[in-house]
Amino acid sequence: MTISQAVAGTALSQEDRYCADTFNGAIASAALSAAWEIGLLDELASAGRVEISAFVASHDADPEAVRAILVALSSRRIVSLDATRAEAVTDMGFESAFSTKGFFYWLTRGCGELFTTLPTMIKKTDREGHFVRRDARAISVACRSIARTFFDPPFRELIEEVHFRTVADLGCGSADRIVMLAGHRPGIRAIGIDMAEGAISVSKEAVGEAGLEDRITLVQDDVLNLTSRPDYEDVDLVTCFLMGHDFWPHDNAVRTLRGLREAFPNLKNLILGDTCRSTGVDGPEHPMFTLGFETVHTVMDQYLPTLEEWQSVLDESGWLIADRRLIDLPAFSFIYRLAPRESGGTR
């Protein structure tokens, strides 16, 4: 018997299998993000299979590196490889992995440096200034995918009967939302607002590709401390997705939500979509994304509110919930259509 045969025939204990799966899952997470970025994941989604030699020829890629990515994916049954490892086909885990690829990209590309340098951010003496480094561009790309798959369908349903002329999207990221809105409603104007230069860069590319430069304005501004601008005076709808938790803690959130009505004097509706801190979840019960989301923001010293805490802040800052959608993934997520209290829920 050869050594490889002996290893292959050795059954791992339950504890060893658990640790192996945890380790291999980390490798597969990075491989999934890489496969998406180089176009491999999309090709698998389109054709259901990839011939490695054909892929590397068309993408000027290293065949062994591509094969290594596919082997890592096969460890989680995302793909399976033939006996010669020349071709990969989608496996039982592919559909779920493809729909959630934005979460993996957020984790490994957007927050990768945070996790690899985590030991250097624990001591209080190291937690000064800008001690956390994340990739704003990668996070924008990841959030675009997450929003398209999990937030946009209920958002489109919720906004269908809301009338507006000018929309401002806070934390616009990739500009995906305002490009979508401008495409569906030819008469509107849109403003994308983000403080991250990397996000504005991604937005400019998206707006240019859509040919909407004449109707979409991009502004680098701090959402938490918006400056007064003439462009803001005509805004009657504000949207804000996946960054509402940045408004917190409580007093800051109240101030920011009140400030939106001052920055946008003609505001009729605020559509807020975000993920909250989990409640009643422990240990291995954490659903997908929740543990990563909460770990990252805890390290960043960013408070995450619960759904109940959001309700109290909305009441205190003068907003009414006119409509709502609750979202299963990411868990503990919501979309609210808010109206200024005195308007009574204007559409």
Question: Hey, what domains does the chain have and what are their CATH numbers?
Answer: 11-99 (1.10.10.10), 118-343 (3.40.50.150)
CB proximity list for 310: less than 8 A, separation 6 or greater? 244, 274, 276, 334
Q: Which residue would you say has higher pLDDT here, 43 or 344?
A: 43
Average pLDDT over every residue of 67-77 = 98
Confidence (pLDDT) at 144: 86
CB proximity list for 321: less than 8 A, separation 6 or greater? 311, 314, 336, 337, 338
In the structure, what pLDDT confidence band is assigned to residue 343 with cuts at 50, 70 and 90? low
- The whole-angstrom separation of Cα 119 and Cα 299 is 11
Per DSSP, helices labelled H in the chain are 3-8, 14-37, 40-47, 52-59, 63-74, 94-99, 101-105, 112-116, 136-146, 152-159, 176-184, 197-210, 250-263, 290-299, 307-317
Confidence (pLDDT) at 7: 52
Query: How many helices (H) and strands (E) would you count in the chain?
Result: 15, 10
Q: What's the whole-number average pLDDT of the chain?
A: 93
Contact assessment for residue 294 and residue 261, using Cβ atoms and an 8 Å cutoff:
no
pLDDT of 178 above 70: yes
Tell me the CA distances in angstroms from 57 to 31, 63, 67, 266, 327, one per residue in order. 20, 9, 13, 55, 42
DSSP state, 328? S
Main-chain phi, psi angles of 176, to 5 degrees: -60, -40
Query: What is the pairing mode between strands 189-194 and 166-170?
Result: parallel
- The whole-angstrom separation of Cα 179 and Cα 163 is 17
- The whole-angstrom separation of Cα 260 and Cα 224 is 9
- The whole-angstrom separation of Cα 124 and Cα 299 is 11
Average pLDDT over every residue of 81-87 = 97
Confidence (pLDDT) at 196: 86
Question: 19-28: per-residue pLDDT in tens?
Answer: 999 999 999 9
Confidence (pLDDT) at 325: 97
Question: 226-281: per-residue pLDDT in tens?
Answer: 988 999 999 999 999 989 999 999 999 999 999 999 999 999 999 999 999 999 99
Confidence (pLDDT) at 330: 97
- The whole-angstrom separation of Cα 182 and Cα 216 is 8
Confidence (pLDDT) at 169: 97
Contact assessment for residue 131 and residue 301, using Cβ atoms and an 8 Å cutoff:
no
Average pLDDT over every residue of 155-161 = 94
Question: 47-57: per-residue pLDDT in tens?
Answer: 999 999 999 99
The answer to whether the predicted template modeling score (pTM) of the entire model surpasses 0.85 is yes
Neighbours of 328 (CB within 10 A): 9
